[in-house]
Amino acid sequence: MKTQIELAREGVVTEEMKAVANAENLSQEFIRCGVAKGEIVIPNNPSRQDQKFAGIGTGLRTKINASIGTSSDICDIDLEVRKALAAEEEGADTLMELSAGGDLDLVRREVLAATKLPVGNVPLYQAFCETARQTGDPNNMDVEFLFELIERQLADGLSFMAIHCGINRYSIERLRKQGYRYGGLVSKGGTYMVSWMGANNRENPLYEQFDRVCALMKKYDAVLSLGNGIRAGAIHDSHDRAQMAEMITNCELAELGREMGCQMMVEGPGHVPLDEIEGNIMLEKRMSGNAPYYVLGPLPADSGAGYDHITAAIGAANSSRAGADLICYITPSEHLALPNEEDVRIGVRTTRLACRIGDIAKYPDRRENEKQAALARRDMRWDDLNKYLMFPDTANEIRNSRMPAQADTCTMCGDFCAMKRGTAIFKDDMTGDKITVNGQ
Ligand code: SF4
């Protein structure tokens, strides 16, 4: 079986590319070219017949990932299925199933059966969890078991995987030489791999046997997302030498994987101050040859716990504007607890809004929806306005809870509605839905 990137290079427009072109209102040739160059990926797995397709990459709408999954403390498969469905209902484009508690094969299969979203995971979680259960020490993880596990998970229908190939002895050496970090290590898979490498005095097998990883991903046409195991977990660690060493390696691997015919994506960067976000995106794009960039926010402050969905949304709007392609949501429970169903809904909505803000800046020619929303608001066409709002249910709930005496206004200004008065003053200066002042 050939992968999307191999087919695109041969000039073939696949059904997956057609679906993405249709969803993005772009030409099929644009999508095919992007896939051929490795600037667009389409998470895929032919074993899932009814999966939705989300294009991720240059020229496309910024996509939103929602991560769910059990932990060793909270393990409720029904809850995880409800969280998956909530994420899909709220508009997530992809889902990551990141369970680390309970029967991990069962959770994954139940989630895959429940959702139509492309589903990804981090295979190292299950590898270390099961090794710890069986032997009492995750450092006993067997390399062959890890590769068998990756194949087992792909065979279940996963469309992308975050795999920590870029951690190697060189990047760990940078971590030692610069001194340990303000924010420590924050990637579960990354930290346990660093521990395994030290305990076994071995190189990372996912780095050493990168071609084997790519061969497995190619077999299922899944996207290999190069995990960011040494990402900064504090703004003071942002862009330190260890993080950059891993980023450079991941960018090299992205190129290598593409050459092998594998769909590749790069991950980053954790906590980053606002003034460094644009530079981070530019570096990834430049060094990887425009591989799609999957970012976690980033979070531009370390002190917002309880409202970190907002912290991350501010980072996400900036990273989307600067060129990030897929953004992992952050929920209000980030840094505090396993997200519940309501957290998932809030996380997806907040990240969708952040990505919309980023896309408005990134694509100035795609602002028609915002113009129509403004016009409907100006003309007090409340029913029409709903068509252009991202969250009309919440907007209506708030408005209906405090209705004004004059139904065309709202209770914010009531009798002194500026919109109503302004429209009355300038009604003769408007042509259709266009204001004559600037002809826009
Ligand atoms: S009452 Fe005030 S807030 Fe409400 S529509 Fe009019 S101008 Fe806007």
pLDDT digits (tens, 9 = 90+) for 381-407: 999 999 999 999 999 999 999 999 999
Residue 369 is encoded by which pair of tokens? 């929806």
Exposure string (b/e) for 360-393, b if CB count within 10 Å is 16 or more? bebeeeeeeeeebbebbebbbebeebeebeeeee
pLDDT of residue 434: 56
pLDDT > 80? residue 378:
yes
Give me the mean pLDDT over the 348-353 stretch.
98
> Is the pLDDT assigned to residue 223 strictly greater than 90?
yes
Q: Is the pLDDT of residue 119 over 70?
A: yes
Residue owning the nearest CA to atom 3 of ligand 1:
412
Query: Kind of pairing, strands 40-41 and 326-328?
Result: unpaired
Where are the strands (E) in 316-382, listed by range? 326-328
Q: How close is the Cα of 419 to the center of ligand 1, in Å?
A: 6
Please say if the pLDDT value at position 252 is more than 90: yes
State the pLDDT at residue 1: 87
Average pLDDT over residues 109-127: 97
Q: Is 232:243 a contact under the CB 8 Å cutoff?
A: yes
Residue 429 pLDDT:
82
Confidence of residue 437 (pLDDT cuts 50, 70, 90): very low
Q: What is the pLDDT of residue 109?
A: 98
Would you say 104 and 130 are in contact if contact means Cβ atoms under 8 Å apart? yes
Choose one of 399, 400, 409, 420 to mutate for the ligand 1 pocket test, by most ligand atoms within 8 angstroms of C-beta. Answer: 409
Q: Does 436 have pLDDT greater than 50?
A: no
pLDDT at position 342? 98
For the segment 299-305, the average pLDDT, to the nearest whole number, is: 98
Q: What is the pLDDT of residue 256?
A: 98
The pLDDT of residue 191 is above 60:
yes
d(CA 116, CA 89): 11
d(CA 326, CA 64): 6
Q: Supply the pLDDT for residue 62.
A: 98
Which atom of ligand 1 is closest in space to residue 380's alpha carbon? 5
Compute, in angstroms, the gap from residue 352 CA to the centroid of ligand 1: 25
List pocket residues of ligand 1, CB cut-off 6 Å. 409-410, 412-413, 417-419
Judged against a pLDDT cut of 70, whether residue 432 lies above it is answered with: no
* Candidate of 377, 403, 412 to mutate for ligand 1, largest count of ligand atoms within 8 Å of Cβ: 412
Q: Which of the four pLDDT bands, split at 50, 70 and 90, describes residue 439?
A: very low
Is cis: bond before 298, omega within 30 of 0?
yes
| 1-14 pLDDT, tens digit each | 899 999 999 999 99
* Cα–Cα distance, 17 to 345 (Å, whole number): 29
Ligand 1 centre to CA of 108 (Å) is: 48
CA of 418 to the centre of ligand 1 (A): 6
Predicted confidence at residue 219, as pLDDT, reads 97
Q: Which whole number is the average pLDDT over 334-344?
A: 97
Instruction: Ligand 1 pocket test: pick from 375, 403, 419, 421 the residue with the most ligand atoms within 8 Å of its Cβ.
Output: 419
Check whether 430 has a pLDDT greater than 90: no
The predicted structure's pLDDT at residue 190? 93
Closest ligand 1 atom number to CA of residue 420: 6
Given a cut of 60, whether residue 435 has pLDDT beyond it is no
Q: How many CA atoms lie within 13 A of 136 on its CB side?
A: 0
Pocket mutation for ligand 1, best pick of 375, 417, 421, 423 (most atoms within 8 Å of C-beta): 417
What mean pLDDT is predicted for residues 248-272?
97
pLDDT band at 438 (very low <50, low <70, confident <90, very high): very low
Question: In this structure, which residue's CA is closest to atom 4 in ligand 1?
Answer: 410
Question: Rounded to the nearest whole angstrom, what is the distance from the C-alpha of residue 397 to the centroid of ligand 1?
Answer: 16
In this predicted structure, the answer to whether residue 28 has a pLDDT above a threshold of 90 is yes
- Is the pLDDT at 210 greater than 70, yes or no? yes
Q: 90: CA distance to ligand 1 center in Å?
A: 28
Q: Would you list the DSSP string of 320-351?
A: HHHT--EEE---TTTTTS---HHHHHHHHHHH
Q: How confident is the model at residue 17 (pLDDT cuts 50, 70, 90)?
A: very high
- Is 76 a residue whose pLDDT tops 50? yes
Query: Which residue's alpha carbon is at the smallest distance from atom 6 of ligand 1?
Result: 417
CATH class of 41-51+61-362: alpha beta
The amino acid at residue 403 is: M
Mean pLDDT, residues 280-306 taken together: 97
CA of 366 to the centre of ligand 1 (A): 27
Query: How far does residue 318's CA lie from ligand 1's centre (Å)?
Result: 29
What spacing in Å lies between the alpha carbon of 413 and ligand 1's midpoint? Answer: 5
Mean pLDDT of 285-293: 98
d(CA 190, CA 166): 10
Which has the closest alpha carbon to 281: 273, 271, 263, 269?
269
CA of 421 to the centre of ligand 1 (A): 10
Percent of the chain exceeding pLDDT 90 equals: 94
Please give the mean pLDDT across all residues of the chain. 95
Q: Are 111 and 80 in contact (CB under 8 A)?
A: yes
**Banded pLDDT at 180 (limits 50, 70, 90):** confident
Would you kindly state where each structural domain of the chain is located, as residue ranges? 41-51+61-362, 368-435
Mean local confidence (pLDDT), 158-172? 97
| Measured distance CA(13)–CA(31) in Å, rounded | 8
Alpha-carbon gap, residue 254 to 165, rounded angstroms:
10
